[in-house]
Amino acid sequence: MFSPNEKQDPEIQNEAGAPAHYDADYQDDRPAVVCPAHTTERRLVYKIDVHVIPYLCIMYLLAFLDRVNIANANVFGMSEELHLLQNNRYNTALVIFFVPYILFEIPSNVLLKKFKPRVWLSICMFGFGLVTMIQGFVKNYAGLLATRFFLGVFETGMFPGAFYLIGMWYRRHEAQRRYTFFFSSTTLAGAFGGLLASAIGKMDKIVPGYRGWRWIFILEGLLTVLVSFFFFFLLPNFPEEVKWLQEDEREFVKARLQLDQGRSAAERDITTRDVFRVFKDPKVIIGGLMYFGLIVPAYGYAYFSPSILQSYGYSPIQTQLHSVPPWAAAFGFAMVIAYLSDRFQHRFLFAIFPILVCISGFAILISVHNNREVQYAALFLVAMGAYTAMPVIVCWFNMNLGGHHRRAVGSAWQVGFGNIGGIIAVFSFLKPDAPRYTKGYSICIAFVIFSALSCLSYFIMCKWANRSRDKSVRDVGLTEYEKMELGDLNPDYRYLL
């Protein structure tokens, strides 16, 4: 007998030929897949969740915290002590992070596949934690620039690597909640960073010569370094390599993913030819533009919301505490949208709606200048909109890429190119524009609209491709190897809209 939430699927059989436990939430019109007799698909997916998502979330939470804690440090006097107030030095220090971060995204994903995710990501984690600590000891502007550059070097693999890895574990209709929960590590980092900074900031001069802003870097970097040692053993690898799945479970995981996305070509290394072949697909270019448009408001908010809040008349401690609720609201909103997106197996409208929320927040900020409560509420809308739309866009694009090679290159391209928007964001909010920041808000609105138009273009291209393949001859004589090499360009593949 099956439990109330399980049912027999005649296409899913165990090795003895009897029907295996197969959860109704996962039933569809797939070909037969042998599920191990000792488990169900629901339990197996839960097992994957426990071993994959929490560690990646903690890793990226610490990475994002180490990246944006410079905004918290600035509230506690970093610019005054390091003489960053002239010639937009603070903004330049933010920008230099993005140079290696953008350039090394694709090489990092290639190395991740070569060295295994557990090894590569833990090495990167140790590196950016150590560099963050060193930021707490810098004595001048040049030292800050050097540390920010190397922070970008070590952080370059975190985001695309994790998205690439998640995409190799889950079927497309399961992925959005996992992507959003992972991405929401950024919102948790923003909230946690504000609380942590408000506490650490009180350590001002507890050691002679070391103000509170230095301790923010030192202690948060030390935490990352310590965690990286444990994560060398805890971070997940690809499904073909993990030890915490039994052999029959690994085979089932690989089979269910193959039926959903096609064969992955996990056994073959990524070549330079693979990289260039990916960029022949115009949908890949559009995927980078979708993300690029949202990076500007996202980084604008992450780096400058403490300064914006401080311009409302809050003290440094009050500023840090007031920065927490918008991040928390963004987390809740993002998870609701992710659940609905997976439930309806649709992405486009669930990307556009939060984009509209983000635009409404900036519209209020650009027009209201004398009502602190309304302005603060608008920051909620900005954070909720930007940090909800981004994981939907990234998941939509990544999970529409078939195979290891296209997904490794495509995910790195999207994040790498998109982060050029971080450079624009940094120079959109300049000190002379405070407290109204009219130019910064206008730039953000323009780029959010650009992202919406890119999403519409991507939706049309995917829908057109699906219709064209539906009308064409299904059997075009391709071998299984040729289909594997084509990935999502395989005529049998259908894009999620």
- Model confidence over 85-105: pLDDT tens digits? 888 898 899 889 888 988 888
Tokens of 490: 């395989």
* Listed ranges 24-28, 31-35, 355-359, 428-432; the one with the highest mean pLDDT: 355-359
* Listed ranges 20-29, 333-342, 431-440; the one with the highest mean pLDDT: 333-342
Buried residues in 382-392 as b, exposed as e (16+ CB within 10 A): bbbbbbbbbbb
Lowest average pLDDT, out of 152-161, 300-309, 342-351, 371-380, goes to 300-309
Mean pLDDT of 377-395: 93
pLDDT at 476 over 90: no
Nearest alpha carbon to residue 311 among 433, 190, 200, 426: 433
pLDDT at 275 over 60: yes
If one compares 351 and 243, the residue with the highest pLDDT of the two is: 351
Lowest average pLDDT, out of 90-94, 188-192, 238-242, 468-472, goes to 188-192
Mean pLDDT of 470-479: 67
Beta bridge partners of 210: 207
Tokens of 283: 């949908």
Tokens of 489: 């360009």
205 falls in which pLDDT band (50, 70, 90)? low
Query: What amino acid occupies position 110?
Result: V
Question: What is the third-level CATH fold of 41-468+477-489?
Answer: Growth Hormone; Chain: A; (1.20.1250)
Contacts 24+ apart (CB under 8 A), 494-497: 494/466, 494/469, 495/400, 495/462, 495/463, 495/465, 495/466, 496/172, 496/173, 496/345, 496/346, 496/347, 496/396, 496/399, 496/400, 496/462, 497/346, 497/347, 497/348, 497/459, 497/462, 497/463, 497/466
What is the rounded CA–CA span in Å between residue 463 and residue 470? 11
The pLDDT, as a whole number, for residue 426 is: 83
Are the CB atoms for 310 and 316 separated by under 8 Å? yes
Lowest average pLDDT, out of 254-258, 424-428, 438-442, 462-466, goes to 254-258
Identify the three-state secondary structure at position 40: coil
Are the CB atoms for 179 and 391 separated by under 8 Å? yes
Percent of the chain scoring above 70 in pLDDT = 87
Mean pLDDT of 362-372: 89
Mean pLDDT of 225-237: 91
If one compares 251 and 135, the residue with the highest pLDDT of the two is: 135
134 falls in which pLDDT band (50, 70, 90)? very high
Query: What amino acid occupies position 186?
Result: T
Taken in order 55, 57, 59, 61, is the CA torsion positive or negative?
negative
Mean pLDDT of 29-55: 79
* Listed ranges 6-10, 203-207, 336-340; the one with the highest mean pLDDT: 336-340
pLDDT at 1 over 50: no
What are the pLDDT digits (tens) for 292-350? Answer: 999 999 988 877 887 788 878 777 778 878 888 898 899 899 999 999 998 998 999 99
